[in-house]
């Protein structure tokens, strides 16, 4: 069986990996210059910061085993089970959040290792030369490939919210133990994470994620959101230093959950994190579910 997987995010890579392990011939086609999609780490001043997913959580046994494999090879590390909530400053304890010393994108790179991945290769139509085509991406991006009606309907039924991520690099650590804050009822901020703490190198770097409302206002000019986000973080934490500010716009950041593992119409499949709670684990599971259905 020849399969083309379009999209080298975590969904596409888990799908391609499982298909390859099952004996299929798989080609992964990715429009970006690197793998990972929203599992994204970008280098600023020689150091990677996580600009997409903030951390990874596992409650599925299969994904937990994948995390354990990454941990055993030094790629992933348990970060924290306690975050702060603003306003109030109370601690909230939950599942262990996992981070990656090399940046979360390194986990996607590990999945891609040994696969046939073609980078910088944007597609504008569903490939005709394969037994099956897996569109592993947000529905609005899949719609640009003019997919068959069942996929177009599933994709059009998804609802997405944008986020602007701000990487804030400070001259020194001016804050105590953070490690991350859920910011509620704030006009600008949704979360702030201590990137030095989660990566384990102690670098004085914070990553803030905007509210969807702020991102929607600045989608055409994300740079203009920089001073607003940096100012809000400074005020929240009482910081005096002015940080370096680097921005990344995620037009399709967070979907409203759909209650199905994937969508399919004939030989074309759609998977990704919209098929469940919008999490890395969901994307990984959705990609694998497509692979298992194809192999089965």
Binding residues for ligand FAD (CB under 6 A): 6-12, 29-32, 37-39, 52-57, 122-123, 136-138, 141, 144-145, 163, 165, 209, 250, 253, 272-273, 278-280, 283
Q: Minimum distance from CB of 63 to ligand FAD (Å)?
A: 10
User: Of the two residues 53 and 268, which places its CB atom closer to ligand FAD in the complex?
Assistant: 53
> Kind and range of the H or E element at 44?
strand 41-44
- Beta-bridged to residue 46, according to DSSP, are none
Q: Minimum distance from CB of 294 to ligand FAD (Å)?
A: 17
User: Of the two residues 43 and 172, which places its CB atom closer to ligand FAD in the complex?
Assistant: 43
- CA-to-CA distance for 143 and 109, rounded, in angstroms? 26
Q: Minimum distance from CB of 36 to ligand FAD (Å)?
A: 7
User: Of the two residues 209 and 246, which places its CB atom closer to ligand FAD in the complex?
Assistant: 209
CA distances to 25, 50, 231, 291 from 22, in Å = 9, 32, 51, 9
User: Of the two residues 44 and 174, which places its CB atom closer to ligand FAD in the complex?
Assistant: 44
Q: Minimum distance from CB of 33 to ligand FAD (Å)?
A: 10
Q: Minimum distance from CB of 13 to ligand FAD (Å)?
A: 7
- CA-to-CA distance for 24 and 13, rounded, in angstroms? 14
Strands (E), the chain: 2-6, 25-29, 41-44, 47-50, 77-86, 90-99, 117-118, 132-136, 160-169, 180-183, 189-194, 205-210, 244-255, 263-265, 268-271
Q: Minimum distance from CB of 172 to ligand FAD (Å)?
A: 26
CA distances to 27, 54, 273 from 133, in Å = 10, 30, 18
Q: Rounded to a whole number, what is the distance in angstroms from the first to the last CA of the chain?
A: 12
Tokens of 8: 């080298």
User: Of the two residues 169 and 191, which places its CB atom closer to ligand FAD in the complex?
Assistant: 191
User: Of the two residues 14 and 169, which places its CB atom closer to ligand FAD in the complex?
Assistant: 14
């Amino acid at each position: 069986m020849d399969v083309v997987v379009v999209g080298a995010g975590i969904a596409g890579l888990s799908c391609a990996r499982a298909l390859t392990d099952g004996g299929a011939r798989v080609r992964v086609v990715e429009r970006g210059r690197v793998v990972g999609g929203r599992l994204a780490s970008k280098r600023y001043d020689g150091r990677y910061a996580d600009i997409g997913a903030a951390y990874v959580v596992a409650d599925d046994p299969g994904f937990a085993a994948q995390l354990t494999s990454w941990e055993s090879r030094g790629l992933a590390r348990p970060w924290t089970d306690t975050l702060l909530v603003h306003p109030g400053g109370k601690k909230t304890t939950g599942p262990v959040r996992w981070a990656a010393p090399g940046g979360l994108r390194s986990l996607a790179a590990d999945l891609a290792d040994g696969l046939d991945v073609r980078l910088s290769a944007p597609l504008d139509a569903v490939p005709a030369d394969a037994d099956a085509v897996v569109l592993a991406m947000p529905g609005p991006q899949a719609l640009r490939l003019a997919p068959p009606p069942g996929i177009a309907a599933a994709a059009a039924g998804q609802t997405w919210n944008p986020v602007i991520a701000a990487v804030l690099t400070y001259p020194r650590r001016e804050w105590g133990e953070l490690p991350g804050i859920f910011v509620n009822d704030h006009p600008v901020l949704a979360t702030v994470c201590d990137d030095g703490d989660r990566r384990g190198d102690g670098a004085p770097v914070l990553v803030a994620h905007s509210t969807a409302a702020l991102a929607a206002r600045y989608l055409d000019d994300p740079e203009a959101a920089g001073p607003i986000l940096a100012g809000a973080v400074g005020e929240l934490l009482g910081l005096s230093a002015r940080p370096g500010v680097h921005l990344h716009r995620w037009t399709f950041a967070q979907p409203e959950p759909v209650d199905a593992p994937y969508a399919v119409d004939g030989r074309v499949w759609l998977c990704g994190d919209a098929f469940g709670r919008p999490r890395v684990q969901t994307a990984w599971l959705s990609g694998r579910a497509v692979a298992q259905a194809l192999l089965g």
